[in-house]
Amino acid sequence: MEGFQVVSRGPLTAPLTGEVRVGGAKNSALKLMSAALLAPGRTVVTNVPDILDVHVMGHLLEELGCSVTVEVGNGDEGAVVAGRAVIDVPEELHPEAPYDLVRRLRASISVLGPLVARCGRARVALPGGDNIGSRGLDMHLTGLRELGAEVRIEHGFVVAEVPGGLRASNLWLDFPSVGATENLVMASVLAQGTTVIDNVAREPEISDLCGMLRAMGAVIDGVGGSTLTVEGVDRLVPVEHETVPDRIVSGTWAFAVAVAGGDLTVAGGRAHHLDIVLDKLASAGAEVSTDSADGFRVAADKRLESFDVVTLPYPGFPTDLQPFAMALAAVSDGTAMITENVFEARFMFAQELARLGADLRTDGHHAVVRGRPVLSGAPVVAHDIRAGAALVLAGLAAEGTTTVAESHHIDRGYPSFAEVLSGLGADVTRIDLPDPER
């Protein structure tokens, strides 16, 4: 089983120095690829990251009748190179997304809206929950019903049918869900009439998707705000669209310097997508400069002060950076309260961090973390993308050897993570770990 090995003598002993280039956002590229389904012809999504999930989404689109080529560049060892996905969409789609692909990629659910909009019907396997939460879909399904679709759950599939085509309506989301916003916007662009969706997600990935849909000919107002107005059109056209940079990967590099020390330029990262994160790191004692047009710089040469975190939908503190905030708090000066408001099971990571000697307590969606000068290396397990990457960073602040098993999770979201880290001065390598006793 593949794993990562991290060897360190503790915080600030192997500072990370140099420049990293951030590629396109996983959580946008996957939805942009789904949006291609809305227009027959060739759509090209550029700046896609070279990660597993992009290839799985490519396979899913092929199952739906498209022909897909994912081209990823061959950069120098550890270099992140922008790829592109060339998607040829036929007039006739096969609107059925099989379980064996959907269970590997939750983002597959984002084909539901486009399929119902284009084909008037869809059968998409239910992705089920994962290690960070139950991951409900009620808002997706309720919204489609309000747009006139008959929706039922059958043999593990969402089955949606609307023979006469979707009809506009006024929708309201109970929570600004990213996934529900994306599916309902993509369903509404071809609906008859004007749909108003209130309390939508405002993440930069949503604006990126709306930007592509508009270029395809969709009429959408209110992008970036909490209400979207979508005037349905008869037909969309294929386009070429560049994926927005990955703000979660950018934030991960900022936390990497905060935990291990160093001086890093995060090229291609957009500081204004991370305002609250960079503000907190600066107030904790890191040096943050955002005046470069092509990215930002973070430097730290001492132990930072603890800070509290409350995860919220954008522009609040991103839940995907919560494990990194917890790893930093474990070696910061003071005590931090971390509150997780988006995913109810996102503290599984805390138990793995405790294995590295972190002094923390969790209670429901609160965690209290008392900072310690140094952690101690140990074998740990990655339960999801962000938790895995955060454990690697925690290993940089631990004395001795840390091994992170199930590192395939990390590869799902971070191109060449081990190689980039070792290029910056860290002792991080890929290793083979014995398969755990079954």
CA geometry: angle at 374 spanning 373 and 378, to 5°? 160
Place of tokens 């000919």: 217
Distance, in Å, from the CA atom of 88 to the CA atom of 98, rounded to the nearest integer, reads: 20
Q: What x/- string results for residues 232 through 271 when contact with ligand EPZ is judged by CB under 6 A?
A: ----------------------------------------
Query: Is beta strand 194-198 parallel, antiparallel or unpaired with respect to 157-161?
Result: unpaired
CA 249 to chain centre: 9
Asked whether position 342 contacts ligand EPZ by CB under 6 A, the answer is yes
Distance, in Å, from the CA atom of 153 to the CA atom of 117, rounded to the nearest integer, reads: 19
Using CB under 6 A, which residues numbered 102 to 121 contact ligand EPZ?
A: 106-107
Asked whether position 346 contacts ligand EPZ by CB under 6 A, the answer is no
What is the helix, strand, coil percentage profile of the chain, to 5?
A: 35, 30, 35
Closest distance to ligand EPZ from the beta carbon of 137 (Å): 5
Other CB atoms within a 10 A radius of the CB of residue 137 amount to: 19
Stretch that binds ligand EPZ, among 61-69, 71-79, 172-180, 278-286 (CB under 6 A): 172-180
Closest distance to ligand EPZ from the beta carbon of 145 (Å): 12
Stretch that binds ligand EPZ, among 126-134, 188-196, 321-329, 361-369 (CB under 6 A): 126-134
Closest distance to ligand EPZ from the beta carbon of 12 (Å): 28
Place of tokens 């593990």: 156
**In this chain, which of 41, 98, 120, 133 binds ligand EPZ, going by CB under 6 A?**
133
- Amino acid identity for residue 217 in this structure: G
Asked whether position 23 contacts ligand EPZ by CB under 6 A, the answer is no
130 is a catalytic site residue: yes
Q: What x/- string results for residues 191 through 230 when contact with ligand EPZ is judged by CB under 6 A?
A: ----------x-----------------------------
Dihedral sign for Cα atoms in the order 85, 24, 423, 371: negative
SS3 185: helix
Please report, as ranges, the residues that interact with ligand EPZ according to CB under 6 A: 27, 30, 106-107, 132-140, 175, 177-180, 201, 319-320, 342-343, 385-386, 413
